[in-house]
């Protein structure tokens, strides 16, 4: 079976299991999504969703956010981790959105990635989920699963993103990256994963998965 045939079958499995893909991070507009995605770095979506109601009650727009001090933002978002860096990034990007983008979250990869604390993955999430632009955000989980399913060599996230974009139709990217995340959480976790019971790995998993499991 070719890699393309594997990808096609994997996409069918994901579509059958997750025909709808709600956005995991609670938000009300592009700005609150941008902030939530920034906070999700090295933090679970569940924890972010517990913190953002308190933050957005105080400041749900760049205009309101710059009225807070970096220290006030930091105190609210501390449970998300990396609060010194994240609080400064949120404060600074809010100023830039106001000063350079008329108070609106920019709708280009280049402009988003120029904002403090916003990398390619964060920009991809905002472009795909807020603006509907085809993108394939690859985080560590998708990177891991793409290697586990033999869809990519796993050398780095940039290579994984390019491999996945080449294998899957562009019109499916925005939904597919969420389907992979949902599937990974339910069936294909990093730890305690049984490849013989996984609906995808049992057919497309790497041999090392089964060898490691059989040694237990």
Q: What is the 3-state secondary structure (H, E, C) of the chain?
A: CCHHHHHHHHHHHHHHHCCCCCCCCCCCCHHHHHHHHHHCCCCCHHHHHHHHHHHHHHCCCHHHHCCCCHHHHHHHHHHHCCHHHHHHHHHHHHHHHHHHCCCCCCCCHHHHHCCCCCCHHHHHHHHHHCCCCCCCCCCHHHHHHHHHCCCCCCCCHHHHHHHHHHHCCHHHHHHHHHHHHHHHHHCCCCCCCCCCCCCCHHHHCCHHHHHHHHCC
CA 1/CA 6 separation, integer angstroms? 7
Kindly compute the dihedral angle of the four CA atoms of residues 149, 152, 154, 160, in this order, to the nearest 10 degrees: -120
Q: What is the mean pLDDT of residues 103-128?
A: 97
CB 139 within 8 A of CB 121: yes
From the list 26, 29, 88, 139, the catalytic residue is 139
Asked if residue 194 has pLDDT above 90, the reply is yes
Q: Where in the chain is the domain with CATH 1.10.1670.10?
A: 3-20+137-214
- pLDDT, residue 208, reads 85
Asked if residue 81 has pLDDT above 80, the reply is yes
The helix (run of H) or strand (run of E) holding residue 72 is: helix 70-77
Architecture of the domain spanning 30-129? Orthogonal Bundle (1.10)
- When the pLDDT of each residue in the chain is averaged and rounded to a whole number, the result is 95
Asked if residue 116 has pLDDT above 80, the reply is yes
Asked if residue 216 has pLDDT above 80, the reply is no
Is 139 annotated in the active site?
yes
Is CATH 1.20.1090.10 the right assignment for the domain spanning 3-20+137-214? no
Proportion of the chain above pLDDT 90, given as a percent: 90
- pTM for this structure? 0.91
- pLDDT, residue 209, reads 86
CB 93 within 8 A of CB 105: no
From the list 86, 121, 150, 163, the catalytic residue is 121
Is 88 annotated in the active site?
no
CA 90/CA 75 separation, integer angstroms? 13
Q: What is the mean pLDDT of residues 172-199?
A: 95
Asked if residue 130 has pLDDT above 80, the reply is yes
CA 90/CA 85 separation, integer angstroms? 9
């Amino acid at each position: 079976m070719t890699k393309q045939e594997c990808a096609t079958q994997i996409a069918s499995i994901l579509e059958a299991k997750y025909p709808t893909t709600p956005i995991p991070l609670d938000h009300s507009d592009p700005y609150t999504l941008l902030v939530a995605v920034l906070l999700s770095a090295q933090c679970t979506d569940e924890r972010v969703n517990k913190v953002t109601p308190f933050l957005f009650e105080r400041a749900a727009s760049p205009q309101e956010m710059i009225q807070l001090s970096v220290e006030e933002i930091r105190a609210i978002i501390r449970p998300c981790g990396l609060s010194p860096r994240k609080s400064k990034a949120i404060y600074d990007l809010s100023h830039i959105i106001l000063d350079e983008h008329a108070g609106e979250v920019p709708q280009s990869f280049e402009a988003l990635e120029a904002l403090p604390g916003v990398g390619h993955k964060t920009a991809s999430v905002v472009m795909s989920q807020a603006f509907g632009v085809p993108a394939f955000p690859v985080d560590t989980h998708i990177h891991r699963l793409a290697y586990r399913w033999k869809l990519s060599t796993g050398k780095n996230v940039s290579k994984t993103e390019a491999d996945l974009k080449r294998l899957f139709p562009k019109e499916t990217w925005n939904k597919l990256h969420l389907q992979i995340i949902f599937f990974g959480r339910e069936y294909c976790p990093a730890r305690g994963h049984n490849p013989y019971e996984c609906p995808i790995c049992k057919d497309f998993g790497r041999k090392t998965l089964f060898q490691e499991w059989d040694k237990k």
